Structure 1
Amino acid sequence: MSIRKWFYLFWTTLLIGAGGAVVAGLALQAVNGRIEFKSTADLFIYPLILFGYGMLVSVYSQLGFFAYLILNYMGTGVFRRKVWQYIQLVLAVLALLELIFLRTFVGGERNVVSDLILGIVILLTAIIVSYFKVRSTNSSAWIPTFFFMTAITIVETIGVLRIGVDSATVFIVIPLIASNAFQILMLHRILKPRTG
Structure 2
Amino acid sequence: MGGLNIRKWFHLFWTTLLVGSGGAVAAGMALQGISGAVPFKGLTDFFLYALILFGYGMLVSVYAQLGFFAYLILNYMGFGVFPRKIWQYIQLALAVIALFDLFFLRSFVGGERSLASDSALGLTLLLAALAVAYFKVRDTNASAWIPTFFFMTGVTIVEMIGVLRLGVDNATMFIVVPLIACNAFQILRLHRILRPAAGWSE
Post-superposition Cα deviations, 1:80-112, rounded to whole Å, max 9, x if no partner, equal: 000000000000000000111111111111111
Letter of the 2:103 partner, please give it.
Answer: I
SS in 1 for 2:99: helix
Which residue matches 1:96? 99
The number of residue pairs the alignment matches comes to 194
SS at match of 2:110: coil
SS at match of 1:106: helix
What TM-score do you get using the length of structure 2 for normalisation?
0.94
1:8 CA displacement: 0.1
Cα distance between partner residues in 1 of 2:185 and 2:43:
34
Question: Residue in 2 aligned with 1:167?
Answer: 170
Residue in 1 that maps onto 2:50: 47
- Separation (CA, whole Å) in 2 of partners of 1:15 and 1:177: 13
Query: Percent identity at matched positions?
Result: 72
Moved over 3 A (4+): none
- Counterpart CA distance in 2 for 1:167 and 1:193 is 41
Q: CA deviation at 1:192?
A: 2.1
Q: Spell out, residue by residue over 1:137-158, the C-alpha distance to the aligned partner (whole angstroms, 9 max, x if none).
A: 0000000000000000000001
Deviations 1:115-159 (A, max 9, x none): 000000000000000000000000000000000000000000010
Give the secondary-structure state (helix, strand or coil) at the position aligned to 1:109: coil
Provide the rounded CA distance (Å) in 2 between the counterparts of 1:182 and 1:192: 18
Aligned partner of 1:10: which letter?
A: F
Residue 180 of structure 1 pairs with residue 171 of structure 2: no
Cross-structure match for 1:157: 160
Q: Following TM superposition, by how much is the alpha carbon of 1:44 offset from its aligned partner in structure 2, in angstroms?
A: 1.1
Distance in 2 (alpha carbons) for counterparts of 1:156 and 1:2:
25
Deviations 1:155-179 (A, max 9, x none): 0001000010101111110000000
Name the SS for the 1:157 alignment partner: helix
Query: C-alpha distance in 1, partners of 2:144/2:63?
Result: 23
Instruction: Determine the structure 1 residue equivalent to 2:71.
Output: 68
Q: Which runs of 5+ in 2 are unaligned?
A: 198-202
TM-score by length of 1: 0.97
Q: Which amino acid aligns with 2:44?
A: A
Q: 2:128 aligns with which of 121, 125, 128?
A: 125
| Structure 1 residue identity aligned to 2:72 | L
> Could you tell me which amino acid in structure 2 is paired with residue 137 of structure 1?
T
Distance 1:38 1:163 in 2: 29
| Structure 1 gaps, min length 5 | none
**Deviation at residue 43 of structure 1 after TM alignment:** 1.2
User: How does 1:78-117 map onto structure 2 within 5 Å?
Assistant: 78-117=81-120
